Amino acid sequence: MWIDRITELVPAERMVAIKNVSLAEDHLHDHFPRTETRGALPVMPASLILEGMAQTGGVLVGHAGAFREKVILAKISKAELTREAMPGSTLRYTATVQRMDSRGAATMGTVDLLDHAGSGTFEPIGEVNLMFSFLDQNMGAAAGFPDHNFVFGDAFKTILRTSGIAIPGEDD
C-alpha cells in the first residue's frame, strides 16, 4: 500500500490519508543512488506519490459505492508536485469527489508535506486530479473480468479496518 492510514473520510465527498516516508523502503535506495559526482539522494518517487493519491481517491470512490465497482485509475488529469518528499517526512493526500456517476468519477486532490525537521506543519506541495473508471460499467461482461472485486483486496481492507472505517457490506 502507498498510504499508511486514513485519517478522515466523509463518504462520497472527501478522504484524507497519510503516508510516512521511510528510509526502510527499499526503493528509496535506488531513487536516487550515489553517483561518481554526488552522494545518494533518497526521495519518494513522484510516480508513487501519484499512486498514493490514486489509492486515496480510489478508496473514497470505491467506498461511496460500497466497493461493488471495480474502480480503476483511468486518467491523470493534472499532476503538479513542487517539492521532494525526503525520508522522515509525512505526506498527506486529500482527495475530493468532483463528479461521480454510474460510469466513473473525477477527483481533485492536494498533496501536503510535513517535514518534521522543518516548519513542523503540513505545507502544500502539489495538486493531483484523477479520473476513475468503473470497469464493469464501461467494459461489460464481454471483457471477461472476474466477478469478485479484485481491485479492493486484503491490503485495502486492512487499511480501512486499521483506520477504524467499517467496510460496507462486510462490517455492517
Partner 1 sequence: MTREEIFEKVKEVLVDALAADDDEVTAEATLEGDLGAESIDYLDIRFKLEQEFDFKIADGELFPDDVGRNSEFVQDGKVTATGIAAMKEKLPHIDFTAFEANPEVGKVSELFTVDTLVSFVENKLAG
Q: Which residues bind partner 1 (CB under 8 A)?
A: 74-75, 77, 98-99, 101-104, 106, 131, 133, 138, 140, 142
Q: Cα dist. 2→45, 56, 96, 139 in Å? A: 11, 9, 18, 27
Residue 145 Cβ vs partner 1, minimum distance, rounded to whole Å: 15
Residue 123 Cβ vs partner 1, minimum distance, rounded to whole Å: 27
Residue 70 Cβ vs partner 1, minimum distance, rounded to whole Å: 14
Check 29, 31, 63, 116 and give the catalytic one.
Answer: 31
Residue 105 Cβ vs partner 1, minimum distance, rounded to whole Å: 9
CB count in 10 Å sphere of residue 136: 15
Is there a catalytic annotation at residue 31? yes
In the block, cell 480503476 appears at 72
Q: Which amino acid is it at 62?
A: G
Cβ distance to partner 1 smaller for residue 27 or 103: 103
Cβ distance to partner 1 smaller for residue 68 or 75: 75
Cβ distance to partner 1 smaller for residue 114 or 132: 132
CA–CA dist 79, 65 (Å, integer)? 26
Which amino acids are annotated catalytic? 31
